[in-house]
Every structure is written in structure tokens, then in C-alpha cells.
Chains A and B, each alone.
Chain A
Amino acid sequence: MKGGGKAVLAVVCMVSLLVCCSIMAGATTKANEFVQQVANYLQVPDAQDNMQSAGFMLRGTYEGLVTYKTQGTVELEPCLATSWEVSPDGLIYTFYLRQNVLFHDGTPFTALAVKLSFDRIMTLKLGKLGYIEGIVSSVEVVDDYTVRILLTSPVASILSRLANIPIVSPTPILQHPEDMAKEWYANNMAGTGPYMLDYFDPPAETALKRFDAYWGGWEGKHFDRISFVTVQDQLTARQMLLGGDIDAVWSVLVEDFAGLGENPDVQLVAGSPPTYYTIAFNCLKFPTNNRRVREAIGLALDYETVIALIGGRPLNDTIAGPVAETNGYYDGTLLTPQYDLERAKTLLAEAGFPGGAGLPPIELVWSRMWDVEAKTVQVLQEGLKAIGINAVSIPMNFAPILSKESTPETAGQLCFIVSDPSIDAVPDQLMQNMYHTGGIYDFSFFSRTPDGLGLDALIEQAVFKTDDAVRLELYKELQQLLVSNYVAMWAFKTVDFTAIRSDVRGYVLVPAYEKYVPFYHMWKDR
């Protein structure tokens, strides 16, 4: 007994000692450091590849020739290029580069860096190729501070595409010509941004530190360090925010609004632009390959109930069509979606499935990341049940969704797509990504159906037209084609909220870069 009692006593003493040490230790973030939560696995990102989870780090470390303004708009401004000229035929863009800029490894920024950056993307076929493939034919060095980008065809959105192309240091590329520094950039970072990699040890600790030689200078208040903590569980992240261990939590749940909003230590910041939720129909898979069935499903969602569940108007609302209503190419004649179970039942009967008879269960694929999708799924399932359709909910993470939805055979009949259509002045990337054959979010496969065979050509025409009036008509035609064929349920737009500590200042969401934060413009008021 004595031995056992001693063991228990020893454990109790140790715990008490730890508690004392803990009380003496502090647990809040420093005044010159911004600590943010990330929900996914972080790895050192090759900036020119597309690694979604590392985007938080990229914006602080790399820059492009142009960038979006940080005032919450979608306007572009010079960055590594100070000005540019466009040839009359729209095929040649000449950029005049900023001088006295250094990369994090000390290499001076010149036209050679721009050329090698583009060559690297095109040669290695890295993720960013999607922004310039078939559009940029070559990049030429004119002199140290002048570079020429040649296009295959004039493209209206070329500058917004270039804003997504980071310029990397040429030194590793020249030192590792065998793989154009692919291995090197998988483990290191060398951009021109205000922050550089300090240490990297996910999932616990990854941090950027300020780059003292940054061309933008360090006048005024700025953070010295940006840290990233991987926390997948939202409840844990919330507790850390309230306890002061982190400074920002993304995508606050609707249920947390009241609690966090009333807390004086936390401020809720609305995301801009709104996030659009679309439910794509798999137009090649039974039964959603039937247009009437698609229309019936679209009528079975109680949109008003979902809006009430996700926080009500005016921050949330229904949408009509794929293009944002604030976009200059929006077709204002499109109608918002309706909820009509009787009409839905009639359509099913007309399609040969009265009361849902003969219809198999349909797969409804959605992402665990988005609370809106979870709520919509519940309401939609009830509506479909009412018209005789059994919908099987399939929650997944982002990566498996991309995989599952890559072919019509493996894809579900319905799948959510989240987008920010109002961030682009021209909706060509939206159309290419979501409705063109092979587009990363082409979950409808409509372009491969008999009714959609002309879709690809129509999109390509719209992308490469420079006449604004013609382009407007083409985009309206595209919208009509998609909506009249019920290619998707264009359901909701919502405003996401980010919760950050009240003492953080200068926080502005850059809508074109989704929720990536311009750390350089932020500080703490302590």
C-alpha cells in the first residue's frame, strides 16, 4: 500500500508543481506578433504551385508585377512593376520594373527574375500555369528593368491573372538548373514581400519574420512576426482566441456570432466580397442527367429557411445565376430561385418519375469547411424527401471532393461549389473554372452533354474578345444557357465573418485574394 500511496502522492505533487509553473507563465500573444489559426496542414509552399493551405504565408512573402489594392476593392495597382504599356493589338505588354528591390536571399530584382519565374511555371507546369496557359506565349528581357510579356491572343483579364503570378528569386533557379529549383522551393522561400520565412515546423509552429530590406519600408506600425498555428477544431480555436493565444479565427460559426460579438476582447469583421454557394448538378449521371429532374430538385430547397438559419438578411441572400449581380456582365433578367414543392412533383411526374418512383438515392457532396453547406444540406434533404427523392449526404474535406468530382462516373449527382464571383472584373476565370471542360470546378460536366456542346466554344469566344459590347452579349448568352438548362442551383451568397482580437488594427480583407490577410498593413494597439 505504501508503495502505491507514494506513487499517487508523487503524481499529485508533480501536477501541483506544474500548475504553479503554469500560473507564473503567461499565455497571450506578443504586441509585435500576429498569430493566426490555419485549419489545414501547412507546408513550405512553392509559391508558383497551387497549395491552398499555404496561401496565408504566400501573400506576406511573395509579390507579383501587379497586385490588388488593400482597401477591400478589386482594383489593381502597380507592385513590382511601376507602370506598363500595351501594344495596339493587345498582344504585347511592356512592364517597367521597380528598382532597388531585393529578394529575401539578397538577390536584386531585375527583369531576369520575371522571365525565369514565368519560364519556371511553364516548363515545370506548376499550379499557377492555369492562370496563363494558352495566354502567355513568352517573356522577354528588354533590359534590367524592362520586361515584355507576349500573349497568344488579347485577353481582357490579363492583369488580374498576372496579379496571381508570384515572382521568385532567380538565384536558386540558376543554381539548380536540373529541376529549376523545384526541390529547393519545396523547402525554402525567397520572394520580395515584407516577410520572410523564420522557422517552419508544422503543425505546431510556423512563422514569418520581417524582411528589413523590404522596398516598401517599415515606417509606421507593423508586425515583426507572423505565426501560424494549425488548429482544425473550431471550438479549440475559439477558446484560444478568447484566451489570447491566437489573434484571428476564420469563418466564425453563425452560432458563435452572439457570444463573440458581445465579447469586448474580440471584433467580428465581415468578409468582403460575399461567398457564393452553388450546387452543381452532374449532368451526365442518372437521374440528374434529366433536365426536368434538375429543375424539380432546384424547386425543392426552402431558400428562406436556409437564409434564416445562416443569419438572415441583409448579409445573406439568394442569387440568380453564376455571375455576381455587382458585375458589369451580369444578366439582370435572371430570376432568383423559387421554392415550390407542387411544381417539383409535377416536373418529376412529367419526367416519368411520379412521386420519385424509380429514382435511386442521389449523392449530395459537400464540404465540412462550410457551415452554410451543412445547413443547406439538411433543409434540401427534407425538401427532396417531400417530393420522393432520397438524398444521401456526403460530407468530405476539400481534397477528396476535388478527387471525387473529377469524373462524371465518380462524382455525386449534386455537389457544392464555393466561389467569389464578384472579385473579378471580368467573369472569364469563373466560367473557365466552373463550366469549361476540364475546369477545376467543372462538377456539372454540362459541356459534354448534347445541350452543352457549344459551351466551351462560347466561353473561349468570350475570354478572347476585346470588344466590350460583344463580350457583354456573349456572357449574357452564357448565363442564359446555363440557367435555362438548370446546370446548377445558384443558391446563396453569404458574408463570412472573421473573429480577431480587438487590439489588432489595420485589418482589411483583400477580396481578390479571398481571406488572405495583408499583414504588412496591420499592427496591435497595445
Chain B
Amino acid sequence: MSVYLLRRFAMMLVTFFGITLVVFTMTRVIPADPARAAAGVGASPQTVAMIRHELGLDRPLLTQYLFYMRDLSRGSLGKSVYSRKPVTTEVLRYLPATIELAMTSFLVLCLVGIPLGILAATHRGHAVDVVTRIAAVGSTALPIFWLALILQFIFFYHLHWFPIIGRSGGIALRPEHITGFYVFDALITWNWPALVDTLRHMFLPLVTLVASRLAVVVRLTRVCVLEVLSEDYVRTARAKGVPNSRIVYKHVLRNAAGPIVTELGMQLAWMLGGSAVAEAIFVWPGLAYFALLGMASVDYNVIMAFTLVFALIFLLSNLLVDVICALLNPKIRLE
């Protein structure tokens, strides 16, 4: 296992290095001058030149890349062209919101998707199976931005049940900053108004994200469980009088878990990186939203930071999924 992990880690570094090279080059070849954009209306050419020099944009491309990698090796993601603040600081400020939304959505996806998939599999051919599959596929087929707007329209505009944007209802309702994860911070400080407020704000973006991925989890769980349900040992267990719930959760699910876990790993990575639409529409102050603002401003370092962070997340989640699968199924050898 340790040899395997070392080898995977080395491959990850190579992949990461390749990503930095490709993304760096792509952002720099866009015919844009972020210094001019940052200087704004009415700025003199001297001001623009000064900003360009300050940000190192007047250096040759290769030099700029080497300087960037040098800074990256020291943990610095450069300075935002637009806000002139360290991007590392901004990333650390916005990342908890993305992680919180993604992890909560992922948890709900598991809590809802897997049981629904099992329900559909154990009631194959019945109304429950049909309705579950139609609902799941239907929700995934809806464009995510449309779903988000409809949820806002119904639950905010008409019903006024949930807030339409943001992560909290105001600075007074925010929990004390400990980790930056509002739910966690509210729980450990026993701040129930803050917890409720955070969950209220999280509800609509969460539903949007979960609904958009539900079908994948439901259908895969259903297929995997159905496959295992037809095995001889399941029939034997039933014949021996083992309760159905024990059969499903102790025997069937564990054997069906491999592909499900692999897919859930991908779903988590998607939720972390693919929440841009939800964050944009609900103004959820996460990293994807910050990146969208950076893209609108041609902010090179923000674009790079966003890409690198999520590339890292995808690489790590791939690795994690492989390791978990091996742990779940001793038959799998990591080579």
C-alpha cells in the first residue's frame, strides 16, 4: 500500500505541474490586459504601467511562470490583480463556504440517494421503484440554473420560506469565527439562532446541488444492489431467515459499495468544483463565486488559484476513492 501511495503521489505532482503550465499559458495568451482593467476608467497610461510592473506582468512569459512557481512552492498564490490582496488570503476566506456547502450537500445526497436507490432496488418493478427513478432522473435532467431560479421563485418570492441569497442573515446572526464553517462554529458555541440562520440560507443551494446529482447516485445504487441481490449467498441468507434489513445493509450494501463509493468520490469532487452556478445564483460566498468574479475581471492569479485548488481536490479525491475501495474490498490489490 505505501509503495502504491508513494507512486500515486509522484504521479499527482507531475499532473499538477502539467496543469500549472497549461493553465498559466492559457490565461496569459488571452488578449487582455488586466492591469488596464484594474486601473479602471480615467487611469493614465503611467498608472496602468505602474500596476503592470507591480504585478510583474511586464516580464517575459517564462520569467513570469518561474516566479509564479517559486511563489507557489512557498505557499503563495500571488496577488489579486483586481483587489491587490494576496490570493492565498482570499482563497482561505472563501474556501470554507464552498467546503461547507459541498460537504453538507454531499451528506444529504448520500442520506437521500443511497436509501432511495436501495428502496428502488428492493421494490423493483413496483410503483415505488418507478416513482423514485422518475423523480431522480427528472431532477437531474433539469438545468441547474433553471432549477435554482425556480426554487428562488417558489420558496422565496411566493412562500417566503427561505432567504434568496447569501450565507447568513447579517453580521449579527453569524457564529463566532472559529473554523469558518458556520454550521460547525454554531454547533460548538451553542449558537442556535446562527445555526438555524445558516441552515436556512444553505437550504436552497443545497437542494439545487443535491437534485442535480441525485439520479446518478440513485440509479447506480439501484443497479449495484440489484446485481448483488441476485447472488446465491443472499438467497441463502433469506432461506436461513435472516431479516431483510440485515441482509441489505450488512451483506448486500457492503458488496455493492465499490462502484457506489467510486461514484460518490466523483460526486464530492463535482460538488466542490462544480458548484459555481449555485454559488453565482445564490451569491453563496464560496471559492467558485470568487473565481467567477476573478474571471470577469481577467484576474490571472485568481483564475490560476481556483484551477489549482480544484485540480488538487480532484486528484486527492481520486486517490482517496481508490484507497477506500481497497479497504472495503480486500480482493482489490492496489498495484
Residue B228 is within 8 A (CB to CB) of chain A in the complex: no
Are B111 and A3 in contact (CB-based, < 8 A)?
no
Are B46 and A125 in contact (CB-based, < 8 A)?
yes
Interface string of B99-116 (1 = CB under 8 A from A): 000000000100110111
Cα separation A440 to B289 with both chains bound (whole Å): 29
Report which of A1, A7, A236, A399 forms a contact with B122, defined as CB distance below 8 A: A1
Knowing A50-B40, A52-B41, A229-B165, the reply to whether A5 touches B115 (Cβ < 8 A) is yes
Shortest distance between the CB of B161 and any CB in chain A (Å): 5
Are B36 and A403 in contact (CB-based, < 8 A)?
yes
Cα separation A239 to B85 with both chains bound (whole Å): 33
Residue A350 is within 8 A (CB to CB) of chain B in the complex: no
Knowing A126-B47, A236-B164, the reply to whether A3 touches B39 (Cβ < 8 A) is no
Are A22 and B162 in contact (CB-based, < 8 A)?
yes
Are A18 and B47 in contact (CB-based, < 8 A)?
no
Are B111 and A243 in contact (CB-based, < 8 A)?
no
Smallest CB-CB separation from A127: which chain B residue? B43
Are A233 and B161 in contact (CB-based, < 8 A)?
no
Report which of B108, B157, B245 forms a contact with A1, defined as CB distance below 8 A: B245
Shortest distance between the CB of B154 and any CB in chain A (Å): 11
Report which of B41, B280, B281 forms a contact with A440, defined as CB distance below 8 A: B41
Interface residues of B in 135-171 (CB under 8 A from A): 149, 152-153, 156-157, 160-171
Smallest CB-CB separation from B32: which chain A residue? A403
Shortest distance between the CB of A457 and any CB in chain B (Å): 18
CB neighbours of B170 from chain A (8 A): 205
Are A400 and B171 in contact (CB-based, < 8 A)?
no
Knowing A233-B280, A236-B149, A399-B37, the reply to whether A243 touches B156 (Cβ < 8 A) is yes
Interface residues of A in 235-251 (CB under 8 A from B): 235-236, 239-240, 242-243, 245
Report which of A4, A22, A245, A410 forms a contact with B114, defined as CB distance below 8 A: A4
Are B44 and A133 in contact (CB-based, < 8 A)?
yes
Are B40 and A4 in contact (CB-based, < 8 A)?
no
Interface residues of B in 187-202 (CB under 8 A from A): 196, 199-200
Cα separation A201 to B296 with both chains bound (whole Å): 19
CB neighbours of A78 from chain B (8 A): none
Report which of B116, B200, B289, B293 forms a contact with A22, defined as CB distance below 8 A: B200
Cα separation A242 to B171 with both chains bound (whole Å): 23
Residue A470 is within 8 A (CB to CB) of chain B in the complex: no
Knowing A22-B160, A399-B34, A403-B34, the reply to whether A440 touches B115 (Cβ < 8 A) is no
Shortest distance between the CB of B46 and any CB in chain A (Å): 5
Knowing A8-B112, A245-B164, the reply to whether A127 touches B40 (Cβ < 8 A) is yes
Residue B184 is within 8 A (CB to CB) of chain A in the complex: no
Residue B118 is within 8 A (CB to CB) of chain A in the complex: yes
Residue B67 is within 8 A (CB to CB) of chain A in the complex: no
Residue B297 is within 8 A (CB to CB) of chain A in the complex: yes
Residue B124 is within 8 A (CB to CB) of chain A in the complex: no
Are A52 and B40 in contact (CB-based, < 8 A)?
yes
Are B33 and A130 in contact (CB-based, < 8 A)?
no
Residue A433 is within 8 A (CB to CB) of chain B in the complex: yes
Residue A326 is within 8 A (CB to CB) of chain B in the complex: no
Are A11 and B119 in contact (CB-based, < 8 A)?
no
Residue A254 is within 8 A (CB to CB) of chain B in the complex: no
Are B33 and A403 in contact (CB-based, < 8 A)?
yes
Shortest distance between the CB of A78 and any CB in chain B (Å): 24
Interface string of A121-150 (1 = CB under 8 A from B): 000011111110100000000000000000
Are A7 and B39 in contact (CB-based, < 8 A)?
no
Are B46 and A129 in contact (CB-based, < 8 A)?
yes
Q: How many residues of A contact B (CB 8 A)?
A: 64
Report which of B39, B162, B171, B244 forms a contact with A50, defined as CB distance below 8 A: B39
Shortest distance between the CB of A62 and any CB in chain B (Å): 16
Shortest distance between the CB of A220 and any CB in chain B (Å): 27
Are A43 and B82 in contact (CB-based, < 8 A)?
yes
Cα separation A402 to B122 with both chains bound (whole Å): 60
Interface string of A387-399 (1 = CB under 8 A from B): 0000000000111
Cα separation A504 to B7 with both chains bound (whole Å): 65
Knowing A4-B118, A18-B196, the reply to whether A239 touches B157 (Cβ < 8 A) is yes
Residue B238 is within 8 A (CB to CB) of chain A in the complex: no
Residue B125 is within 8 A (CB to CB) of chain A in the complex: no
Smallest CB-CB separation from A239: which chain B residue? B157
Are A19 and B161 in contact (CB-based, < 8 A)?
yes
Residue B96 is within 8 A (CB to CB) of chain A in the complex: no
Residue A346 is within 8 A (CB to CB) of chain B in the complex: no
Smallest CB-CB separation from A24: which chain B residue? B196
Are A127 and B39 in contact (CB-based, < 8 A)?
yes
Cα separation A22 to B203 with both chains bound (whole Å): 11
Knowing A19-B161, A25-B200, A239-B157, the reply to whether A231 touches B33 (Cβ < 8 A) is no
Are B32 and A18 in contact (CB-based, < 8 A)?
no
Shortest distance between the CB of B278 and any CB in chain A (Å): 12
Report which of A10, A125, A438 forms a contact with B111, defined as CB distance below 8 A: A10
Most chain B beta-carbon neighbours within 10 Å: one of A10, A229, A403: A403
Cα separation A245 to B166 with both chains bound (whole Å): 12
Cα separation A397 to B289 with both chains bound (whole Å): 16
Cα separation A232 to B145 with both chains bound (whole Å): 13
Are A11 and B112 in contact (CB-based, < 8 A)?
yes
Interface string of B26-40 (1 = CB under 8 A from A): 000001111011111
Are A7 and B115 in contact (CB-based, < 8 A)?
yes
CB neighbours of B34 from chain A (8 A): 399, 403
CB neighbours of B312 from chain A (8 A): none
Shortest distance between the CB of B19 and any CB in chain A (Å): 23
Cα separation A501 to B291 with both chains bound (whole Å): 32
Most chain A beta-carbon neighbours within 10 Å: one of B82, B119, B203, B293: B293
Shortest distance between the CB of A5 and any CB in chain B (Å): 7
Interface residues of A in 16-31 (CB under 8 A from B): 18-19, 21-23, 25, 27
Report which of A15, A201, A203, A230 forms a contact with B203, defined as CB distance below 8 A: A15
Residue A40 is within 8 A (CB to CB) of chain B in the complex: yes
Mark A residues whose CB is within 8 Å of B.
Answer: 1-5, 7-8, 10-11, 14-15, 18-19, 21-23, 25, 27, 40-41, 43, 49-52, 125-131, 133, 186, 199, 201-205, 229-233, 235-236, 239-240, 242-243, 245, 397-400, 402-404, 406, 410, 433, 438, 440
Not counting A51-B40, A127-B41, a sample of 4 additional A-B residue pairs whose C-beta atoms are within 8 angstroms of each other reads: A25-B200, A129-B46, A243-B156, A403-B36
Mark B residues whose CB is within 8 Å of A.
Answer: 31-34, 36-47, 50, 82-85, 108, 111-112, 114-116, 118-119, 122, 149, 152-153, 156-157, 160-171, 196, 199-200, 203, 244-245, 248-249, 280-281, 283, 285, 289, 292-293, 296-298
A selection of 12 A-B contacts at a CB cut-off of 8 Å is: A4-B114, A8-B112, A11-B112, A14-B199, A27-B160, A127-B41, A129-B46, A202-B285, A230-B283, A399-B38, A400-B298, A403-B36
- The 10 closest A-B CB pairs, nearest first, are A4-B115, A50-B40, A403-B32, A399-B37, A130-B42, A410-B31, A41-B293, A403-B33, A397-B296, A7-B111
